[in-house]
Amino acid sequence: MVDVSQHKLVPEHSVVDEDVLEGILDEYDIKRTDLPKIKRGDPALPDDADTGDVITVVRDSRTTDRAVAYRLVVD
């Protein structure tokens, strides 16, 4: 199949380490379930991502140079 991550519409996805995530959730004062979601079967998901992991998406932003977003992997 085609490598989805090469598509210009697909931003970079990567799994967030648990200890880094802790800091992020603290900073925003939210629970991990408050994050936007991404489906387990999403074609752009990295192979090592599992349900319950949080992934970070680094978007080429229209309003600033790079925008970092987070999504929780759900079934």
Partner 1 sequence: MTEYDVTDDVAAIVEDTELPRRLKDEVYRTIEDRGGVTAEEADEIARAVENRYVETRVDPLDPVGTVSAQSIGEPGTQMTMNTFHYAGVAEIDVTQGLPRLIELVDARKEPDTPMMTIHLEEEYATDREKAHEVVWKIEATKILALGDVSTNVADMRVQVNLNPDTLDERMIEPEAVAEAIEAELGVETVQRGTVVEFGPEQPSYRDLLQLVEELRDIVFKGIEDVTRVVIRKEETERGEEFVLYTEGSALGNVLGIEGVDGSRTTTNNIHEIYRQLGVEAARESIINETMETLETQGLDDVNVRHLMLVADIMTNDGTIQSIGRHGISGAKESVLARAAYEVTVNHLLDAAIHGEVDDLNGVIENVIVGKPIKLGTGDVDLKIGSFSETAAKPSDD
Q: Are 70 and 56 in contact (CB under 8 A)?
A: yes
Do 45 and 73 meet the contact criterion of CB atoms below 8 Å apart?
yes
> How many Cα atoms within 13 Å fall on the side-chain side of residue 17?
3
Chosen residue from 16, 21, 38, 54 binding partner 1 by CB under 8 A: 38
Q: Determine if 16 is a binding residue for partner 1 (CB under 8 A).
A: no
The residue from 27, 47, 48, 62 that contacts partner 1 (CB under 8 A) is 62
Binding site for partner 1 (CB under 8 A): 1-4, 6-11, 13, 36-39, 42-45, 57, 59, 62-66, 71, 74
